[in-house]
Structure 1
Amino acid sequence: MRQVIDQLREQVSTGAWPVGGRIPTEPQLVEALGVGRNTVREAVRALVHAGVLECRQGSGTYVVSADELSGAVSRRLASAQVAEAVEVRRAFEVEAARLAAQRRTREDMAALDGALADREAAWRSGRVADFVEADAVLHAAIVAAAHNAMLAELYASFGAATRATIAEGVGATLHQDRYVDHGRLVAAIRAGDPERAAAEAGAFLEV
């Protein structure tokens, strides 16, 4: 078991499985490692407990931190009060938006446009879980466009708390009065306007 855990951890630490990315499925891991399904399941569970991986219902298992230290941060943030989590999100996302407006590339904008379209489609679907995931993916794409590896890693470790605050914001059903337009935020990043991007990012994260 320890050997399998170490093998999985190595995939994370070497960047083969990057922070924010989804790891191979359980059957794929069984085939690649040559061990039983239960062994793989227990090894993944151990790294989830350590805060390195995160299981997302209906989506898969994702890398949320490159090591157990970041994992400890993730666990602490995940248990925080919603108001505290929103304040931390604001600290991350406002600066990320500012940096993204200064550093975004053509590829970043393509990713942002795609994530924004997916978010809009998820809202129209009326499915809360789909919208929460799509919204979180858009914000992660903005952080990625900031091109600060440390910020991206810390933000990824905050993933569960981010999704909790999004879910809290939209409630049990998607009502129009809770809809928050993110098109202006993406537009400010595209325009290379760091102050407007920061203002847009902070506007919907008031506590």
Structure 2
Amino acid sequence: MPLATTRRAGLVEQVIEQMRELVTSGEWPVGQRIPPEPELVSALGVGRNTVREAVRALAHAGLLEVRQGDGTFVRATSELSGAVRRLCGSELREVLEVRRALEVEGARLAATRRTEEDLRQLEESLAERDAATDEGDGERVAETDTAFHLLLVESAHNPVLTELYRGFTEAVRASVVTTFDLRAHSEEQISHTALLDAVRDQDPERAAVEAGGFLEEMLRRLGQPERS
């Protein structure tokens, strides 16, 4: 395990930083159980209380999830992503509504600010996504579809919007897995092609409509939310 013995000063902060790095780098992937407490104590050269405080802090930040009797698991790769996951939970409607807000504005801005390099990357990303769809590889579809939408938002060249969307990508990927129907992928491919065409043509209104179309359809299928 790539952990280093800590110094005496600021032990909890050092342990938090090391564990956060293992999460954000993917060394401890999302969904995986982290090493048990005795193993962390031995590897880090600190006491149990220090490890527990670090785990508690990272759980509060949303990166880890402590499951009583089962261990501690990686929940998200960043504090922002963890916050998003806490807010959205398993509520697909809420995830789609936030996707609509971010992706529609991202597409609108991308249509006016995109560069030729942005277009090249978007074309390559969409080709990878469509290839995954043709192969019927649902896992790869989720990865490539999420990557395409992230590139589109990055093409808006708004750092705040991009950072917000980056923190939301795990929820986006989960929503793709939930909503993507491989048996009806042709319509979905056309929608993405039309979206890219609108960005290429520098037509912000058409890009916004194309970006929101599929999400609007999914929200319509889900029906009205229950009121408490």
TM-score normalized by the length of structure 1: 0.70
Shift of 1:8: 7.0
- The answer to whether the Cα contact below 8 Å between 1:170 and 1:179 also exists between their aligned partners in 2 is no
For 1:103, the aligned partner's letter is: R
Shift of 1:4: 4.7
Matching of residues 87-98 of structure 1 within 5 Å: 87-98=97-108
The CA deviation string for residues 158-193 of structure 1, in whole angstroms up to 9 with x for no partner, is 12221122112124xx21367402111011101111
- The answer to whether the Cα contact below 8 Å between 1:102 and 1:194 also exists between their aligned partners in 2 is yes
Q: Partner of 2:210 in structure 1? A: 200
- The answer to whether the Cα contact below 8 Å between 1:143 and 1:152 also exists between their aligned partners in 2 is yes
For 1:175, the aligned partner's letter is: R
Q: Partner of 1:6 in structure 2? A: 17
For 1:200, the aligned partner's letter is: E
Runs of 4+ in structure 1 over 6 Å off: none
For 1:23, the aligned partner's letter is: S
Does the alignment pair 1:154 with 2:156? no
1:127 pairs with 134, 137, 149, which one? 137
- The answer to whether the Cα contact below 8 Å between 2:111 and 2:201 also exists between their aligned partners in 1 is yes
Secondary structure of the 1:136 match is helix
For 1:81, the aligned partner's letter is: E
Secondary structure of the 1:180 match is helix
Shift of 1:149: 0.8
Structure 2, unmatched stretches of 5+, are 1-10, 29-38, 45-50, 65-73, 220-228
Identity percentage over the alignment? Answer: 44
- The answer to whether the Cα contact below 8 Å between 2:61 and 2:83 also exists between their aligned partners in 1 is no
User: Matches of 1:48 and 1:110 in 2, distance apart?
Assistant: 40
Q: Partner of 1:23 in structure 2? A: 25
User: Matches of 1:131 and 1:190 in 2, distance apart?
Assistant: 23
Q: 1:64 to 1:104 in 2, by over 3 A?
A: farther
Matching of residues 24-103 of structure 1 within 5 Å: 25=27, 50-51=61-62, 65=78, 68=79, 70-103=80-113
The CA deviation string for residues 133-154 of structure 1, in whole angstroms up to 9 with x for no partner, is 1101000000000111111111
For 2:25, the aligned partner's letter is: I
Higher alpha-carbon deviation: 73-82 or 111-120: 73-82
- The answer to whether the Cα contact below 8 Å between 1:170 and 1:178 also exists between their aligned partners in 2 is no
How many residues align? The count is 175
- The answer to whether the Cα contact below 8 Å between 2:122 and 2:152 also exists between their aligned partners in 1 is yes
Q: Partner of 1:32 in structure 2? A: none
Give the structure, 1 or 2, with the largest relative contact order (CA under 8 Å, sep 6 or more). 1
Q: 1:161 to 1:71 in 2, by over 3 A?
A: closer
User: Matches of 2:89 and 2:203 in 1, distance apart?
Assistant: 35
Does the alignment pair 1:175 with 2:183? yes
Does the alignment pair 1:106 with 2:116? yes
Structure 1, unmatched stretches of 5+, are 12-21, 27-36, 54-60
- The answer to whether the Cα contact below 8 Å between 1:101 and 1:189 also exists between their aligned partners in 2 is yes
